[in-house]
Amino acid sequence: MIYKTQMEAAKKGIITKEMSIVAEKEYISVDKLRDLIACGKVAIPANINHKSLSPEGIGEGLKTKINVNLGVSGDCADYTKEMDKVKMAIDFGVEAIMDLSNYGKTNTFRKELIDYSQAMIGTVPMYDAIGYLEKDLMKIKAIDFLSVIEAHAIEGVDFMTIHAGINRRAIESFRGSNRLTNIVSRGGSLIFAWMEMTGNENPFYEYYDDILEILRKYDVTISLGDALRPGSINDSSDAGQISELIELGMLTKRAWEKDVQVMVEGPGHMAINEIAANMTLQKRLCFGAPFYVLGPIVTDIAPGYDHITSAIGGAIAASHGADFLCYVTPAEHLRLPNLEDVKEGIIATKIAAHAADIAKGVPNARDIDNKMSDARRRIDWEEMFSLAIDGKKAREYFESTPPADDQSCSMCGKMCAMRTTNKILNGETVEFC
């Protein structure tokens, strides 16, 4: 049978090679995976033109995936540095990379990125439209936006953030919400400005069916952007956020009717006590579609440490149903992240994702923790370093102040609890001199 997308294949009972690969990675039966894809609860973003891709599943019952944002800006337009970030992200095993470049002709870098990356590639076509088309925002026509979407699809982009939910109805709710931070989504603010300046409806909403036809042709997953996500904990769960979420639920069903896979994006900034309810609400309003969250950042007062505020929120969100975490770096709100910022963001987000997988009982999630614990019991440093998320840093810490006895570290020395207990259980005498 012929099929265009992973969802269409699943609905027809076809098991694709991508489904088989993902099922093996996730310790799940391929038949169960196919059924989850057919009903939209799992997506495998896999553009037919992304030949280097190692496919991953995002959604119910699967490991929490993480995404790394990168790309140039007008103030930092060095693509070599961005490719260094890409290579490091791949080395750390991230599942997705989003190119958020918003300056100049970005397609050369994007093509190199797609050719190189085994991770999924995402973009926000709205960002690229101004540089790609070389037009002022007000002069861009609806057909121009669609042309950028198709260009990205042809290049091999696996998923695209499309801000289709910020329509006239959602804007009315936003205007009445009296926010502290208004619209903090870059793409959302540009769409809002375009709508206000031209007097037109959101082109991504008005021409949604045309967009779906483009995405279906190349099997691009639509990531429904949350243009009205809260940019401060004061603004979370307000009318603007929820009204847009309702729109995104309706857009989800329309995409599924066209066999286009969907992810739904979520907050943003949010106090800890609101996170669980928001995850439940999203899944309910969007019919169980995979949920992709930025953070949530749980306090607004930690610039320079927002990889930590985000990891706290991300762990809670994923343990309550979020499926995909977008990393946040220490540079969030401050600058374009450098290589070290990207590393810190990746590590913090991987910790959050893995902690959530343990909490929600993802198959085999605890296995590596049990191996690490066993290596600690045996005081096998090399094995510990090999199992660590960042083994290089762990080794550097250990070796920076070497212990006199390699059966301990420099903190406890010969009073190491593992060493003491091992000796007693082995029938040996514990001595400190």
Annotated binding site for Zn(2+): 269, 333
Residues 155/111, Cβ–Cβ less than 8 Å: yes
CB 99 within 8 A of CB 123: yes
Q: What is the DSSP string of 149-211?
A: HHHHHHHT-SEEEE--S--HHHHHHHHTS--SS----HHHHHHHHHHHHH-PPPHHHHTHHHH
Q: Which residues are annotated as a binding site for [4Fe-4S] cluster?
A: 409, 412, 416
Annotated binding-site members for substrate: 69, 98, 127, 163, 185-187, 226-229, 265, 292
- DSSP secondary structure letters along 118-158: SSEEEE-HHHHHHHHHT--GGG--HHHHHHHHHHHHHHT-S
Q: Count CB atoms within 10 A of the CB of residue 425.
A: 8
Q: Annotated binding site: which residue ranges?
A: 69, 98, 127, 163, 185-187, 226-229, 265, 269, 292, 333, 409, 412, 416
Cα–chain-centroid distance for residue 75? 25
Using CA of residue 411, residue 340, residue 53, residue 147, what is the dihedral sign?
positive
Distances (CA, A) of 335 to 46, 72, 109, 133: 31, 11, 21, 26
Q: Does residue 296 have a cis peptide bond before it, meaning omega lies within 30 degrees of 0?
A: yes
Residue type, 148: V
